[in-house]
């Protein structure tokens, strides 16, 4: 078990057992010891559609009930819906989800009564879990039968989004909703129809389908293209497993990059300060009327950057990640609707903002994407790439200019470097290749930028091949 870029992650078989109860007990004790909550306070629990999630959620409920908390079951709801409901009630919450990673893995996202936990909280929870483990922690199933709050949780979140656009704002658009196994699947259809769109749901699955919105698989893209052509769609939308990362594809079925969705949303909101990780497109700074703060990858770092911006006197502060998830630091007035702060990733606002732009301009999403004139970017990952191998590779690349030059010899010459998170190399010809181990899974990620889609694809392929070569040789 370890905390990654967003939440605790591990093998499903482990989390179904003692491990989930151990970490959730540590979380509960940390909240009590720090004075953030008291015994008898409510804690909300949500989950995704993974086969392992109900058992893990039950373990979490039992462990927290054993500490004297009132447990409220929000069922299978999007993470941002759970977080919003908990914020309004000033209650802690946790979401059982592995987000986009394969079904043999799962995770838990933790929230204090005032929002998502930060890196200091993660360290404290890990230390408390270690102490409990050493002391011989045991877990007993209690069958708590928590209060059901799923309907209220979804209603609060729907109301937040239902006033975001004018009535019939999406009338005339025909939109496909790739439902697969995301907990956002029914609410997406509901909201798009609410705004007047004609909706074509497809691909609903009773087994878990991992969809990574930051590195959409070729198989998924082929599915989107086929459905777009078959139904003559204007756009297709979806989300990852827990509904905090959006997927928006244009009229051809080609997904738009998440950082473009974030950029469109920042402009839609009228943000004055934008916080985004170093992996987001290098053209963001010149693409809007806002200042930009760059961070490491992961929502805790984006949230910390937003908090720093607010503390420095910033107003209208928003953030987004390269996966498209948008975070809102303070209240925004949008279309005469008060959009309350929600400093955790959300897929719904970026989806609605992007579709409303297409509707208001009466332009296709492919034209809108091209109009932003961002450098062409691509990203992918090597799955089942041992964490130890990633660590050795990064140590080698950082060991000196000779090592990095040798590694990049088939790719290009080093112009400049950024070591904020992973190693981001700007080559002398201004192409960018960025090597970064995943914080959530045994994966090695690569992000690139180039002057054309073909050049970006070629650079990505060469960079990934170079990683494979090094791993075999070392």
Q: In the structure encoding, which two tokens stand for residue 254, read together?
A: 């080609």
Distance CA 397, CA 391 (A): 10
Cβ distance 223 to 203 under 8 Å?
yes
Residue spans of alpha helices (H) in 362-452? 365-371, 387-397, 401-407
Cβ distance 294 to 320 under 8 Å?
no
Q: In the structure encoding, which two tokens stand for residue 411, read together?
A: 């790719």
* Catalytic residue list contains 452: no
Q: In the structure encoding, which two tokens stand for residue 28, read together?
A: 């509960």
CB < 8 Å & 24+ apart, contacts of 226-232: 226/253, 227/176, 227/178, 227/200, 227/202, 227/203, 227/253, 228/176, 228/252, 228/253, 229/253, 231/174, 231/176, 231/200, 232/174
Is residue 263 within a helix (H) or strand (E), and if so which, with residue range? Answer: helix 258-269
In 3D space, the residue among 320, 427, 445, 452 whose CA is nearest the CA of residue 375 turns out to be 452
Q: In the structure encoding, which two tokens stand for residue 396, read together?
A: 């080698």
Distance CA 206, CA 52 (A): 13
Active-site pick, 99, 282, 299, 304? 99
Residue spans of alpha helices (H) in 16-138? 18-33, 53-65, 79-89, 119-134
Cβ distance 391 to 455 under 8 Å?
no
Active-site residue set? 99
């Amino acid at each position: 078990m370890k905390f990654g870029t967003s939440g605790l992650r591990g093998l499903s078989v482990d989390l179904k057992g003692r491990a989930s109860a151990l970490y959730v007990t540590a979380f509960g004790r940390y909240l009590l010891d720090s004075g953030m909550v008291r015994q008898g306070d409510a804690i909300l629990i949500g989950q995704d559609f993974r086969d392992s999630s109900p058992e893990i959620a039950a373990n979490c409920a039992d462990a927290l009930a054993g500490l004297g908390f009132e447990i409220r079951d929000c069922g299978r709801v999007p993470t941002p819906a759970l977080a919003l409901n908990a914020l309004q009630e000033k209650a802690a919450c946790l979401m059982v989800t592995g987000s986009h990673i394969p079904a043999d893995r799962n995770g838990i996202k933790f929230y204090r009564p005032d929002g998502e936990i930060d890196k200091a909280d993660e360290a404290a929870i890990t230390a408390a879990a270690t102490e409990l483990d050493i002391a011989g922690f045991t877990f007993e199933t209690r069958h708590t039968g928590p209060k059901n709050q799923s309907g209220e949780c979804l209603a609060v979140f729907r109301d937040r989004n239902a006033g975001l656009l004018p009535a019939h704002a999406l009338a005339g658009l025909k939109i496909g909703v790739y439902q697969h196994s995301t907990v956002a699947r029914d609410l997406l259809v509901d909201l798009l129809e609410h705004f007047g769109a004609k909706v074509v749901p497809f691909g609903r699955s009773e087994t878990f389908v991992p969809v990574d919105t930051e590195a959409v698989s070729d198989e998924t893209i082929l599915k989107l293209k086929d459905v777009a052509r078959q139904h003559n769609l204007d756009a297709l939308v979806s989300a990852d497993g827990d509904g905090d990362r959006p997927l928006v594809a244009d009229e051809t079925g080609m997904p738009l990059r998440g950082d473009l969705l974030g950029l469109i949303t920042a402009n839609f909101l009228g943000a004055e300060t934008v916080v985004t990780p170093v992996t987001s497109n290098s053209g963001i700074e010149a693409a809007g009327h806002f200042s930009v703060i760059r961070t490491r990858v992961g929502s805790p770092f984006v949230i910390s950057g937003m908090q720093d911006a607010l503390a420095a006197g910033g107003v209208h502060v928003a953030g987004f990640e390269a996966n498209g998830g948008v975070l809102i630091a303070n209240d925004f007035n949008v279309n005469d609707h008060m959009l309350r702060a929600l400093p955790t990733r959300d897929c719904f606002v970026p989806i609605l903002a992007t579709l409303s732009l297409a509707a208001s301009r009466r332009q296709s999403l492919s034209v809108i994407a091209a109009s932003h004139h961002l450098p062409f970017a691509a990203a992918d990952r090597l799955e089942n790439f041992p964490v130890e191998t990633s660590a050795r590779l990064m140590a080698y690349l950082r060991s000196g200019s000779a090592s990095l030059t040798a590694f990049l010899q088939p790719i290009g010459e080093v112009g400049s470097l950024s070591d904020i998170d992973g190693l981001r190399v700007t080559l002398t010809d201004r192409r960018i290749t960025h090597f970064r181990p995943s914080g959530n899974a045994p994966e090695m990620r690569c992000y690139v930028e180039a002057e054309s889609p073909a050049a970006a694809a070629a650079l990505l392929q060469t960079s990934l091949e170079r990683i494979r070569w090094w791993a075999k040789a070392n």
